[in-house]
Amino acid sequence: MGRVSGKVALITGGASGLGAEDARVLAREGASVVITDIQDDLGAQVAAKIPNCKYFSHDVRDERRWSEIVADTIKTFGRLDILVNNAGLVRFGTIEDLSYADYKLQVEVMLNGTFLGCKAAIPYMTKSGGGAIINMSSIGGIKGISSIPAYAGAKGGIIALTRSVAVHCQEKGYKIRVNAIAPGGIETPMTAQAVAQLGPDDVGLAQSRDHGMGKPEDVANLVLFLASEEGRFITGTTITIDNGETMK
């Protein structure tokens, strides 16, 4: 207990799935937590059940709102040490039938949202003496899956963005570690949507089916490790958590 005691974490997409579990685990280990989302009722319900947790409505595509969210986090808890860029969504369709609107939506939320989060948080983290940024990618950004080209493109971009931001922070001496996590199939509302929409026999779901589905706490425990002092010598990398799905 207490692995992130005294730290303040900001988690996007915190109303459900991985983000909500990240909030529970970090709070359990002593952090004060801000969760954000556009699912206001659900987000408020999640925050109400977590000690020292505050919910703010937040569209991660909005640059001005990012400035407000970080400022409100500082106003509420006094500092910012951990940022988890977790907000995401998926729209299915191959390169031939996915609409451009759905392509842009996924890139704007996940890749652009991660860029804006890093940009907004870093100046405040330097004032707190450093910190940890954890960006949620996916094995979809590593391997080819025909039914999610936009999702995969955004998640692959997050991996590259993570490396660049990590190098920048190290070059500047900011003491901010920046890493990405690439989960495989995890039991969340998003994966339930995928199974319902694509069907359990879809080729894009075959690997997850063959390797089993992880639990949100599997990812949250890795978030905790990277956010804590135990991960102090890790930066600029992407860690897969997929029960071997991408190992061959």
**Alpha carbon separation from 105 to 10, 89, 101, 156, 247 (Å, rounded):** 22, 9, 6, 16, 30
Model pLDDT, residue 196:
72
Burial label for 221, CB within 10 Å (0-12, 13-18, 19+), is middle
Confidence bin at 1 (pLDDT 50/70/90): confident
pLDDT at 207: 61
Distance CA 178, CA 235 (A): 5
The residue written with tokens 């879809």 in the block is 202
Q: Are 27 and 53 in contact, with CB atoms under 8 Å apart?
A: yes
Q: Of the listed 55, 103, 124, 151, which one is catalytic?
A: 151
Cα dihedral sign for 199, 200, 206, 211? positive
pLDDT at residue 190 is higher than 90: no
The mean pLDDT of 36-41, rounded to a whole number, is 98
**pLDDT over threshold 80, residue 48:** yes
Which residues, at least 6 apart from 228, have a Cβ–Cβ distance to it below 8 Å?
3, 4, 29
Closest alpha carbon to 38 in 63, 18, 55? 55
Structure tokens at 147: 């039914």
As a whole number, the mean pLDDT across the chain is 94
Label residue 191 by pLDDT band (50, 70, 90).
Answer: confident
pLDDT digits (tens, 9 = 90+) for 12-27: 999 999 999 999 999 9
Q: Write the pLDDT tens digit of every residue in 161-170.
A: 999 999 999 9
The answer to whether 151 is a known catalytic residue is yes
pLDDT at site 203? 64
Tens of pLDDT, residue by residue over 132-143, are 999 999 999 999
Q: Note the pLDDT tens digit of each residue in 97-110.
A: 999 999 999 999 99
The residue among 194, 247, 183 whose CA lies nearest residue 218 is 183
Q: What is the pLDDT of residue 187?
A: 84
Judge whether 141 and 186 are in contact, CB under 8 Å: no
Query: Which domains are delineated in the chain?
Result: 8-241 (3.40.50.720)
Most distant CA pair in the chain: distance in Å? 50
